[in-house]
Structure 1
Amino acid sequence: MLRTDTLQITTEILALIARIDEFKGAWRALGTLAPERLSALRRVATIESIGSSTRIEGSKLSDREVERLLANLEIKRFDTRDEQEVAGYAKVMEVVFSAWQDIPFTENYIKQLHQILLQHSDKDHWHRGQYKTNTNSVAAFDEHGEQIGIVFQTASPFDTPRRMTELIAWVDAQRESRLLHPLLIAAIFVVVFLEIHPFQDGNGRISRALTTLLLLQAGYAYVPYSSLESVIELNKEAYYLALRQTQGTIRADAPNWQPWLAFFLRSLAEQVRRLEKKVEREKLVLASLPELSLQIVEFAREHGRVTIGDVIRLTGASRNTLKAHFRKLVERGHLGQQGSGRGVWYELR
């Protein structure tokens, strides 16, 4: 059984929880942007989350390539392993975002999400939605997608069903008793889940989808609008180190939860900080920019980049008028210019 009775709540952990919960409470007011603006924020965050979560596991697709792939999901057939992983993760996130209120946190539903995650990969058909039958381990990958080492040896296939049943029972008991903060429940679930590594493949990706599910079910409604996965990707070495430091003690009499709790909560706090910055920028833009400039910024947010030609096709405005708007947006720090001459394009700063 999990030993959380020795869990020590440090002042840093308390401060991080207070910071995250403060934003959770303020989100209703902060989130009063127009629906189309919130939709754009969510779309960008979803692309970032899918790209980052799959790259953590070794995918090489950029966010731009992920965006193009998502625009063609209806093709249902993906040639490369990276494309299959992105398509599967996108579907899982769609299910979590749209149905989180109706998804019981049970082993059967976790298996169903795993089946969805691997639905496009023929190579994985034999173990989709089933606990592992062969031993596996947690591996770390570099920025080129190459494996750089084993982070942790995991539970045996024989022990996996029992330990997963114990873990889900622990989550249920903690949620019902409300003695442990929901963020701590989510954090402990994730690190133990990854220590068990219950599936043959896809454990990292499904753990991040389940993190989102737990957070949404705990009332953290802002989660779809800022990518936690991208925060983890940028701190991948610290992510693996925190996992290793805590996972090596989970079955001891006094587990050391601190390394993972600190990393997890710091990452959630950074997710909040990024979203606060985005919302404030949105409000500033809404309050101060003319309609044509707003359309330019909106296009850049939805597509990752924008050219004068894009906006001509979108609005029918003249090139000279648009040049003036683009120049002011660059001067005021809303857009950054890339390239020169006929190949110039712009992105959000």
Structure 2
Amino acid sequence: MRMKKTESLMLTKEFVNLMTEIDEFKGAWLALGNIAPDRLLQLRKVATIESIASSTRIEGSLLTDRQVEKLIGNLQIQKFETRDEQEVAGYADLMSIVFDNYNDMPLSENFIKQLHGYLMTYSEKDQWHKGQYKKFPNHVVATDGFGQVIGIVFETTTPLETPVKMQELVDWTVENLNKRDWHPLLVIAFFTVVFLTIHPFQDGNGRISRVLTTFLLLKAGYHYVAYSSLEAVIEQRKPDYYWSLRQTQTSLNQDEPNWSPWVLFFLKSLKQQKDNLEIKIKRERLLLTQLPNMSQTILDLLRENGRITIKELQISTQYNRNTLQKHLESLVKTNQIQQNGQGKGTWYSLI
């Protein structure tokens, strides 16, 4: 597929409206995101857990969000029994690297290979190919209930052609993100669908594609994507995800590829991601405006001190212990703070 065929995309009014709405939210993010740093950190933590859980479930994992949260809270154990756990651990490391370092990481083939290596860090069965382009065909296939292949759904790029196609894709993407002839959201949409068409790695292509999508959005200035999970949106729309991919992928070798199905799905998913975050931000602001003065005082003291006990609160506020207890329970219930320990050793901290 020659990347110059992107000229065949017709920008409909729906495409333009979606991109405009997403860009307006991008521009307003600083104002919309003006909430307490601890709450922003909590939003990012929740979004990261959702992204890891959803992206691995799209590929067949059975772990719930709660199981993923517990697992990534214990990454220091370095040993994971099941393939699902190994994939989650690798994905968690990968997202942390991208979120913390995307400003300093340029898009390149070596960078993409490094990300694949991080993804496969804990996957015992994948050590032989991690961080390397595929050596064997990896067509998308259909299987029966016993796992037997019953047909090829889509033929991916051959191993021999993969290095050339990947170099072409990366060069085109970097050039067009810099030139701005195309809207960056369209460039990222093109990159993602062509990357999945090439399927450059033996395994892990879907997960890598979704991390790269987030990486490119961050590089393009859509910084809010760290606080709302795109992977969760895709999981909820999984049939549409595969349908739109196949509709575009099967046309890429034609003189006029049909980009529209994938681009429309991509932009609608970004809009849903943005809408989800907007709802969360409004909820956060509502919580703050509805907080009683005493609850707000507790939050302020925690921001100053990091941790506090109910006895210390009594001394600072001169409030009744039972009254303070009710406010603390309410703040814990609404995920504003967390309780640590039990009995006389109980103390509270920001999440």
Pair in the same fold by TM > 0.5: yes
Distance in 1, Cα, partners of 2:48 & 2:14: 29
Q: Structure 2: where are the runs of 5+ without partners?
A: 300-308, 315-320, 337-351
Distance in 1, Cα, partners of 2:297 & 2:20: 37
Candidates 22, 25, 28, aligned match of 1:26:
28
TM-superposed CA distance for 1:275, in Å, is: 0.3
Correspondence for 2:204: 202
Candidates 8, 12, 24, aligned match of 1:6:
8
Q: Per-residue CA shift, 1:36-91, capped at 9, x if unaligned?
A: 01000000000000000000000000000000001100011111000000000001
Correspondence for 1:168: 170
Q: Structure 1 150/288 Cα, relative in aligned 2: closer, same or farther at 3 Å?
A: farther
Candidates 124, 127, 131, aligned match of 2:126:
124
TM-superposed CA distance for 1:151, in Å, is: 4.2
**What secondary structure, in the 3-state scheme, does the structure 2 residue paired with 1:216 have?**
helix
**What secondary structure, in the 3-state scheme, does the structure 2 residue paired with 1:5 have?**
helix
Does the aligned pair in 1 maintain the 2:295–2:327 contact within 8 Å?
no
**What secondary structure, in the 3-state scheme, does the structure 2 residue paired with 1:222 have?**
helix
Q: 1:197-236 residue pairs with structure 2 within 5 A?
A: 197-236=199-238
Correspondence for 2:274: 272
Distance in 2, Cα, partners of 1:67 & 1:139: 31
Q: 1:175-324 residue pairs with structure 2 within 5 A?
A: 175-290=177-292, 322=326
Q: Structure 1 65/140 Cα, relative in aligned 2: closer, same or farther at 3 Å?
A: farther
Give the AA of the match of 1:49: S
Does the aligned pair in 2 maintain the 1:140–1:240 contact within 8 Å?
no
Distance in 2, Cα, partners of 1:12 & 1:208: 24
Correspondence for 1:135: 137
Does the aligned pair in 2 maintain the 1:73–1:87 contact within 8 Å?
yes
Distance in 1, Cα, partners of 2:271 & 2:88: 26
Correspondence for 2:155: 153
Identity %, equivalent residues: 55
Distance in 1, Cα, partners of 2:68 & 2:296: 25
Q: Per-residue CA shift, 1:102-130, capped at 9, x if unaligned?
A: 11100000000000000001110110000
Q: Per-residue CA shift, 1:293-345, capped at 9, x if unaligned?
A: 68999xxxxxxxxxxxxx99xx997599549965xx89xxx9xxxxxxxxxxx
Distance in 1, Cα, partners of 2:82 & 2:137: 25
Candidates 85, 88, 91, aligned match of 2:90:
88
Correspondence for 1:347: none
Distance in 1, Cα, partners of 2:174 & 2:58: 29
Distance in 1, Cα, partners of 2:143 & 2:28: 37
TM-superposed CA distance for 1:140, in Å, is: 7.6
Does the aligned pair in 2 maintain the 1:48–1:227 contact within 8 Å?
yes
Correspondence for 1:57: 59
TM-superposed CA distance for 1:146, in Å, is: 11
**What secondary structure, in the 3-state scheme, does the structure 1 residue paired with 2:174 have?**
helix
Q: Structure 1 217/232 Cα, relative in aligned 2: closer, same or farther at 3 Å?
A: same
Q: Structure 1 55/198 Cα, relative in aligned 2: closer, same or farther at 3 Å?
A: same
Q: Structure 1: where are the runs of 5+ without partners?
A: 298-310, 335-349
Does the aligned pair in 2 maintain the 1:48–1:230 contact within 8 Å?
yes
Q: Does 1:17 align with 2:19?
A: yes
Q: Per-residue CA shift, 1:267-311, capped at 9, x if unaligned?
A: 0000000000000010010111237768999xxxxxxxxxxxxx9
**What secondary structure, in the 3-state scheme, does the structure 2 residue paired with 1:266 have?**
helix
Give the AA of the match of 1:128: K
What do you get for the CA RMSD once the two structures are aligned? 3.0
Does the aligned pair in 2 maintain the 1:57–1:141 contact within 8 Å?
no
Does the aligned pair in 1 maintain the 2:53–2:68 contact within 8 Å?
yes
Q: Number of residues paired by the alignment?
A: 313
Distance in 1, Cα, partners of 2:119 & 2:19: 30
Correspondence for 2:116: 114
Q: Structure 1 148/100 Cα, relative in aligned 2: closer, same or farther at 3 Å?
A: farther
Q: Per-residue CA shift, 1:173-211, capped at 9, x if unaligned?
A: 212221000000000000000000000000000000000
Give the AA of the match of 1:205: R
Q: Structure 1 128/218 Cα, relative in aligned 2: closer, same or farther at 3 Å?
A: same
**What secondary structure, in the 3-state scheme, does the structure 1 residue paired with 2:154 have?**
strand
Give the AA of the match of 2:43: L
Moved over 6 A (4+): 145-149, 291-297
Q: Per-residue CA shift, 1:156-189, capped at 9, x if unaligned?
A: 1111111111101111221222100000000000
Distance in 2, Cα, partners of 1:94 & 1:82: 19
Distance in 2, Cα, partners of 1:45 & 1:159: 36
Correspondence for 1:345: none
Distance in 2, Cα, partners of 1:11 & 1:139: 36
Does the aligned pair in 2 maintain the 1:106–1:168 contact within 8 Å?
yes
Correspondence for 1:304: none
